[in-house]
Structure 1
Amino acid sequence: MNDLPAPLRSLIEKVLEQIPGGEERIQELTNRQGGRAAAAIGGVLGATTQAIVQVVMMLIALFFLLIDGRALVEWLEEVAPLKRGHMSELMAEFRKVTVTVLVSTVATAGIQALVALVGYLIAGVPHALFFTFVTFVMAFVPAVGAGGAGLAAAALVFFRGHAGRAAFLAAWALVAVGLADNVVKPYLIRGGVSIHGAVVFFALLGGLAAFGPIGLLLGPLIIAFFLSVVRIVRREYPRET
């Protein structure tokens, strides 16, 4: 620790003073909990890597759709067992839902960051705007999310000797920031597509459980496609009265 820069060494010494037993206690806890910490970090890294791979694959598919999407739609209209125009209707629904989900995801991350900023200011987190930006970025990372950034800020406040503020910020991160994603995103998606809010909510949960992070996009898409097919069938084959 003597090789560390003076400001960092001073901060670590203050943290150690707040912990009973000092360095010996830290060493004991490290030896005891090292395996669990390594497993937790491995899980986070694994989930993040999987999400990155899925996003890259989605971007590759998006590239080819943008380059030759019109020809693909025309080919699907030729081979699909549907009347001409139905495939274009389904593709229009696909585009509408995709844009809505992507925009709502970015907007939800922004709202979570703003909610977190309120907590940071109340708890007296240093460099609150920096942590707000980190919260916005982490909102896109699976298994961590915006709440994880808030918990990291709470740990910093705790080590600075403000246990009460840290407890408040941890609760704020888990409740206000963490649950905002489950409330705001379905509401925003419902505003962009003609689907009931409860259906959107369960589509997000089901997509996440079935496909992982990419399911947040696939879940609403599958529901929207299903409802579009139902509308086409009802229009083409109306019930006899």
Structure 2
Amino acid sequence: MNEGDSSSSRSFLQVLLAVLGTLTVVLVVPFLQAVLLGGLMAYLVAPVNDRLSRRLGATAGAAATMLATTVVVLAPLLFVLAVAVDQAVALARGAELPDVAALESFLSERFGTSVPGAEMLVEPLGNAVEAGLRGLVGSVGGILGGVSTVLVGAVIFLFAFFVLLRDGDRFVAWIRAVTPLDAATTDELFARTDDLLWAAVVGNVVVAGLQAILTVVGFAVVGFDNVVFWGVATFLLSLLPVIGASIVWIPAVGYLLFVGNVPAAVGLFLYGSFVISGSDNVVRPMAMRRGARLNSGVLVLSIFGGVAVFGFLGIFVGPVVFGLTKTVIELLAEERADPRGS
């Protein structure tokens, strides 16, 4: 094949790759959440899968790892989520709207005077609360109505999980073979990707899980009901930067003050400040010791941007994308500074 034919063939292959690559992306996007979740789970349990695969073989090891993960992790997690949803629905349906007479009595006791205009405040507030609660129950009903979509996503998740467990090493080897980079640069990219995944997934989940457990303990001690719901809410909110667990326990302190339980409010405030929120300063540096650090402003942008693009999993995917972008820029800068290494 002469040079002209080779150039034409290469150009055609590049155009074909662009077309087929675009079609592949279009096909995968509707199930991207399930595929990403399968990849994250495979990454988390990879050490267990490696040990089992050495003893049982690749296929049997992957199957055993997936079964163990389902029994030990996924099934209890789904049970907790089901209880949290049930408690959320019960909380929404059982919530009582503010009573005008009770509010006027409360304000009179606190401020020593009657507030005849309280009804004007309570009526729109009550309507807003009622609309919000109905919206919450309606959202739960909509989620339950999409069972078929959930089942399809679950099948794709399990398939991606199993395939990546069984063939993950071959997939990584294929990426190394087709990547037009030298071995040292490829190793650096894989190492930093591992650090970013560790920080984004393991570090954040450990911190959020600890704060959720501490919140449940504190709420149970002061006598709150529906602690599973509050624990799940704390866990999800603790994954987000800036917001954290304080958005759950601070309103609880305000509620305790509102109902006149001052000792419990003071106790929960101290416990929340020094134990729940304080645990972040102690545990996060330990959990993220392996992780590649991002500027706090970049981290906030990467997480919220990731959520906007990838949904809930963007909490983990966003920082990895930003971190890899930073890594590629640094590698390019190193190559430009030392052109002999290219």
TM range (shorter): 0.5 to 0.7
Q: 65, 68, 74: which is aligned to 2:173?
A: 74
Deviation at 1:85, TM superposition (A): 4.8
Matches within 5 A, 1:96-135: 96-113=195-212, 116=215, 120=219, 125-126=222-223, 131=227, 135=230
Deviation at 1:174, TM superposition (A): 10
Q: Where does structure 1 lack aligned partners over 5 or more consecutive residues?
A: 1-14, 23-27
Deviation at 1:217, TM superposition (A): 0.6
Matches within 5 A, 1:1-241: 32=127, 34-43=130-139, 61-113=160-212, 116=215, 120=219, 125-126=222-223, 131=227, 135-141=230-236, 150=249, 162=260, 191-198=289-296, 199-238=298-337
What is the TM-score with the length of structure 1 in the denominator? 0.57
1:99 to 1:64, Cα distance in 2 relative to 1, 3 A: farther
1:232 to 1:72, Cα distance in 2 relative to 1, 3 A: same
Larger Rg: 2
1:196 to 1:174, Cα distance in 2 relative to 1, 3 A: same
Residue 237 of structure 1 aligns to a residue whose secondary structure is helix
1:120 to 1:136, Cα distance in 2 relative to 1, 3 A: closer
Any conservation in 2 of the 1:76–1:87 contact (CA below 8 Å)? no
Task: Work out the number of aligned pairs and report it.
Answer: 214
Distance 2:280 2:306 in 1: 14
Q: Where does structure 2 lack aligned partners over 5 or more consecutive residues?
A: 1-94, 103-122
- Read off the aligned partner of 1:192 and give its amino acid letter: R
Any conservation in 2 of the 1:93–1:228 contact (CA below 8 Å)? yes
Distance 1:215 1:61 in 2: 18
Aligned to 2:67: none
Identity rate, percent: 24
Deviation at 1:104, TM superposition (A): 1.7
What is the TM-score with the length of structure 2 in the denominator? 0.44
1:83 to 1:223, Cα distance in 2 relative to 1, 3 A: same
